[in-house]
């Protein structure tokens, strides 16, 4: 058995039982990335903080190379790359740093469709008296309402939090314009680019944002590794962590994230074109197979691998139960699973309840094929139509 056969066998076994189309929640680790991670765990296992020996020196070199790769993908200086355990920690560090470098309370303007990691961190800071939140409204496509943004900025804002692309409906935001507008009002900007990395152009040197966030497991890297990219960040200025000890670097995760970023730089543009074509095919097939199907988000400006739909009359949890073991998709953010409450994103878009109750999020990925798209269209359509038929006369469509 060669080094890749176990991974390949497991992947084939999983594909044979259920088709995975939930790439917004997480992506499988690319075998090429896994190979890097395993080598760093088994062969190049030194402590990057212990450079007095050759093993530590090699580990430190791998960390430095990963910084270069992340910086290359994003047009950022390697010295501005700070590795974290994922996007959530990076967000917490960024907001804590902003609190530590501004007079309290920090005035934060947040779009109502931000990821829960941003919203919950800001709300926690507000409860502690460290922050004050000003909300930015969105329209029915989840696009930022510019009048709401300008109104918030006019009131005096220290930090604007806006994602590069929405993790549920896929809407892409004009972050360059937002950063320029915020800068004119003296505000820093935190950009959650977790879903956007490698899937839309991002040059941080040109963009000028204070903080940018990414996570490895959204770009075919391992879970438990992410990064904060910031030209202004310093650990010594993080509120409550002054003088904190730098932890032992997760060298295998860091090296894997760096290589995942390199692959995104090399292959991301072509991959996005391919996935957009497949996504459009899937959308067209579903619209033809499911009467009254609705596509949510901004169809003209969205992530290439995203398809977010509603099928009024077919409760999404029932549809997912029919698809279990066949097609893996979701109703929205993985962080909201089990919350027993509607998506805050769809609520902010002011979608009617029948659309919210029947929403489905589909995320295509690196291994998705045209045959997968056809299979998914048929299976999803059959599940929706079956649920509608079963509940006909019980639910209002």
How far is the C-alpha of 256 from the C-alpha of 79, rounded, in Å?
18
* Distant-in-sequence contacts of 42-49, Cβ < 8 A, 24+ apart: 44/251, 45/251, 46/251, 47/248, 47/251, 48/248, 48/249, 48/251, 49/246, 49/248, 49/249
Catalytic site residue from 161, 261, 335, 359: 335
Residue by residue, what is the 3-state secondary structure of 132-153? EEEEECECCCCCECHHHHHHHH
> Which of these, 157, 223, 230, lies nearest to 193 by C-alpha position?
230
Establish how many alpha carbons lie within 13 A of residue 295's alpha carbon, considering only the half-sphere containing its beta carbon. Answer: 18
Whether the bond into 223 is cis, omega within 30 of 0? no
User: Has 359 been annotated as catalytic?
Assistant: no
How far is the C-alpha of 368 from the C-alpha of 200, rounded, in Å?
19
142 with 166: CB under 8 angstroms? yes
Active-site residues: which are they?
335
């Amino acid at each position: 058995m060669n080094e890749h056969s176990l991974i390949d066998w497991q992947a084939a076994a999983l594909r044979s039982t259920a088709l995975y189309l939930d790439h917004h929640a997480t992506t499988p680790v690319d075998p090429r990335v896994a190979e890097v991670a395993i080598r760093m765990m088994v062969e190049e296992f030194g402590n990057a903080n212990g450079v007095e020996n050759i093993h530590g020196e090699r580990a430190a070199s791998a960390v430095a190379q990963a910084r270069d790769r992340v910086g290359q993908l994003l047009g950022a200086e390697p010295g501005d790359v700070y590795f974290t355990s994922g996007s959530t920690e990076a967000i917490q560090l960024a907001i804590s740093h902003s609190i530590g470098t501004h007079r309290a309370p920090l005035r934060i303007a947040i779009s109502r469709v931000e990821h829960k990691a941003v919203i919950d961190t800001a709300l926690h800071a507000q409860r502690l008296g460290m922050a004050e939140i000003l909300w930015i409204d969105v329209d029915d496509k989840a696009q930022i309402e510019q009048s709401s943004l300008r109104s918030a900025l006019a009131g005096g804002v220290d930090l604007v939090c806006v994602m590069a692309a929405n993790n549920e409906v896929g809407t892409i935001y004009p972050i360059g314009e937002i950063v320029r507008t915020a800068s004119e009002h003296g505000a820093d900007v935190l950009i959650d680019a977790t879903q956007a990395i490698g899937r839309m152009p991002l040059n941080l040197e040109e963009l000028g944002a204070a903080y940018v966030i990414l996570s490895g497991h959204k770009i075919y890297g391992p879970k438990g590794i992410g990064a904060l990219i910031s030209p202004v960040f310093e650990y010594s200025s993080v509120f409550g962590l002054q003088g904190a000890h730098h932890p032992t670097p997760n060298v295998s995760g860091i090296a894997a994230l760096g290589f995942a970023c390199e692959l995104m730089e090399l292959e991301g543009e072509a991959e996005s074109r391919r996935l957009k074509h497949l996504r459009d095919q899937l959308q067209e097939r579903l619209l033809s197979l499911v009467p009254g199907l609705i596509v949510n988000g901004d169809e003209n400006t969205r992530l290439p691998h995203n398809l977010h739909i509603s099928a009024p009359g077919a409760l999404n949890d029932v549809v997912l139960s029919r698809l279990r073991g066949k097609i893996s998709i979701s109703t929205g953010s993985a962080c909201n699973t089990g919350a027993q409450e509607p998506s805050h994103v769809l609520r902010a878009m002011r979608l009617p309840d029948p659309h919210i109750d029947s929403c489905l999020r589909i995320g295509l990925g690196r291994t998705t094929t045209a045959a997968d798209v056809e299979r998914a269209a048929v299976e999803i359509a059959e599940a929706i139509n079956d649920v509608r038929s079963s509940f006909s006369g019980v639910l209002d469509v």
